[in-house]
């Protein structure tokens, strides 16, 4: 679980938001870690084919990782892109 906490604390959001993630639930089993993260920040770069709007976005993100020797070697993320697009006015 230590690798997951460090990853959440230091990874920049894949959404081009200028803000940190807030961690929700976290679960580990064997070499797999799953987490629910909460993102909130300002839309500052083109994302989902929408130019920067300066809009504040808030959404949940689900991440799934595999760990080997204390390092992530596989990472997958899932967000509700339609919820984000609604917040961007699309």
Cα 76 from Cα 14, distance rounded (Å) = 11
DSSP the chain: -HHHHHHHHHPPPTT-BSS-EEEEEEEEETTEEEEEEEEEEEB-S-BTTB-----EEEEEEEEEEEEETTEEEEEEEEE-HHHHHHHTT-
Residue of 68 and 11 predicted with greater confidence:
68
pLDDT at 58 over 60: yes
Matching residue, tokens 């689900």: 62
Question: What pLDDT, in 10s, does the model give residues 14-37?
Answer: 345 555 566 678 899 999 999 998
pLDDT of residue 90: 73
pLDDT at 41 over 60: yes
Instruction: Return the CATH class of domain 2-87.
Output: alpha beta
Predicted confidence at residue 67, as pLDDT, reads 94
Q: Which residue has the higher pLDDT, 56 or 21?
A: 56
Q: Which residue has the higher pLDDT, 16 or 67?
A: 67
Angle made by CA atoms 78, 80, 82, in degrees to the nearest 5: 145
What per-residue confidence (pLDDT) applies to 6?
38
Q: Per this entry, what is the length of the chain?
A: 90
Residue 52 main-chain phi, psi, to 5 deg:
-55, 135
């Amino acid at each position: 679980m230590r690798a997951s906490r460090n990853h959440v604390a230091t990874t920049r959001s894949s959404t081009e938001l200028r803000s940190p993630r807030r961690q929700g639930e976290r679960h580990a089993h064997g070499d797999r870690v799953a987490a629910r993260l909460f993102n909130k920040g300002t839309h500052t770069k083109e994302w989902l084919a929408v130019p920067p709007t300066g809009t504040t976005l808030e959404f949940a993100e689900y991440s799934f990782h595999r760990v080997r020797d204390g390092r992530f070697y596989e990472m997958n993320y899932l967000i509700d892109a339609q919820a984000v697009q609604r917040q961007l006015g699309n």
